[in-house]
Amino acid sequence: MRFHTFVLKNVLRRRIRSTLTLTGVAAAVGMFVTLVGISDGLQATLLDLYQQRHIHLIVSRSDAVNPMAGTLPEKLGQDVAALDGVQGVSPGLVDMLSFDNLGINGVVVQGWPAGAFMFRELTILEGQGLTVESRGKKGIMLGKDLAKNAHLKLGDNVEVSGENYRVVGIYESKSDIENNWAVLLLEDAQKLTGKTGLITGLTVRLKDDSDESIKAARAAIEGPVADKLRVKGKVQAKPPQEFLNTQTQLRAFKAMAWAVSVVALLMGMLFMLNTMIMSVFERTREIGILRAIGWRPSRVIRMILMESVLLSLGGAIVGTVGGIGLTLLLSRLPLANGAIPNSLSPAIMAKGFVIALVVGLLGAAYPAFRGARLLPTEAIRHE
């Protein structure tokens, strides 16, 4: 018999209690991998999207609570495009609008000027894209998932915030989020949102992506360009990673995910502590016997810690599998709007296991210490 076999047999001894403890840890780990996984995944998806499109800088309003809230003059796009080292600029106006005739509220609509490089990042599945010729024709492009969920086909009419638009194209983006959005020409979006001459941000491609080049472009945009348009101090130009890190909504979601996970993990740890204390207390005499027949205190500690770690890693396996299932399920809900990635990264699963290990070790530390401190003679007398 190997020592780990002995440990396993001890764990299997109280099947109901072990199962409950394992379930408690599984719930905590499952919650962690799901919530933190989704929040990390969302950020990673967005980052990936920016990187795929070779976007080096995102220019937005620095005092805006969210990217849709703050506006900048449209002319900023031309001024930035005129800078040395800038390869291309795509101004955009993003807002949430409603499809009145369909009773759908809160559709994210992006407005881009005809010919903007962002149009080339979308694959047209049906119909055509919005071009210079589309001006004044009130056309709208829908992401494939939005079209599917809203049961809209090419040529259908959509009443966008009180105005009729016709579906001229259905596109596919590499981003699931964008597949749930719609695209209008910038001037149409400005009109619908009442933000004539304004944009919510710019995406900027540079000729070379060296740190120096990015730094120089940032300085120029936030300095002289902003100054010229009298928005100095209100413009920020950030690389995608930095931009996403400072997004209030993403940060709030991340903070919430961590807060809930930490509470769940603390509860898991208390659960483990309770289980292991009971287990040690019940086996007081047995531990006394083990000590009497020569077991060192360190072996008693090892036994208790290994039992706990076995339970917590079991919980991690169950919790991770549950988390993968839950994430997949959530990502398929229409409510998710493509904002929930359908898989968890190996990194978050590894984190789940490490955290479970810590939960197991911390939860069992005190019981193990108590077990090891038992005096054999007193422990054997224990009733």
Partner 1 sequence: MSKHEHPPGNGNGVLLRAEHLTKLYPDGQVNALVDVTLEIRRGEYVAVMGPSGSGKSTLLNMLGALDRPTSGETYFEGRPMSQIPNWNRLRAQKIGFVFQSFYLLPVLSAMENVQVPMFESPLPASARAQRAVELLEEVGLGHRIHHPPEKLSVGERQRVAIARALANEPVILLADEPTGNLDSKSAADVFDLFAALHRQQGMTIVLITHDDALGRRAERIVRMQDGQVRSDMPSPGPQAAGAPACGSATPAAVVGPPVGLRVVPGVSSRRPKSILPPFAVPDRG
Max CA pair span of the chain: 94
**With respect to partner 1, which residue has the nearer C-beta, 144 or 291?**
291
At position 323, the amino acid (one-letter code) is G
Task: Say which residue the tokens 């599998």 belong to.
Answer: 321
Q: Minimal distance in Å, beta carbon 314 to partner 1?
A: 18
* Residues in contact with partner 1 by the rule CB under 8 A: 1-3, 6, 9-10, 12-13, 285-286, 289-297, 299, 375-377, 380
**With respect to partner 1, which residue has the nearer C-beta, 253 or 295?**
295
**With respect to partner 1, which residue has the nearer C-beta, 2 or 151?**
2
**With respect to partner 1, which residue has the nearer C-beta, 88 or 297?**
297
Residues 71, 198 contacting (CB under 8 angstroms): yes
What is the per-residue DSSP string for 87-132? Answer: EEEEEEEEEEEEEGGGTEEEEEEEEE-TT-GGGGGSEEEEE----G
Q: List the structure tokens of 344.
A: 């968890």
Cβ-Cβ contacts under 8 Å for 73 (sequence gap 6 or more): 197, 198, 199, 229, 231
Q: Which of 190, 178, 179, 206 is nearest to 113 (CA)?
A: 190
Q: Minimal distance in Å, beta carbon 370 to partner 1?
A: 17
Q: Minimal distance in Å, beta carbon 372 to partner 1?
A: 11
Give the separation between CA 110 and CA 259, rounded to whole angstroms: 32
**With respect to partner 1, which residue has the nearer C-beta, 18 or 71?**
18
Q: Minimal distance in Å, beta carbon 252 to partner 1?
A: 49
At position 196, the amino acid (one-letter code) is T
Indicate left, alpha or beta for 155 from its phi (over 0: left) and psi (-120 to 50: alpha): left
From residue 373, alpha-carbon distances to 36, 272, 378 in Å are 39, 20, 11
**With respect to partner 1, which residue has the nearer C-beta, 67 or 376?**
376
- Give the Cβ contact number of residue 282 at 10 Å: 14
Beta-bridge partner residues of 109: 95, 182
Cβ-Cβ contacts under 8 Å for 21 (sequence gap 6 or more): 271, 272, 275, 311, 315
Q: Is 306 exposed, middle or buried (0-12, 13-18, 19+ CB in 10 A)?
A: buried
Q: Minimal distance in Å, beta carbon 359 to partner 1?
A: 25
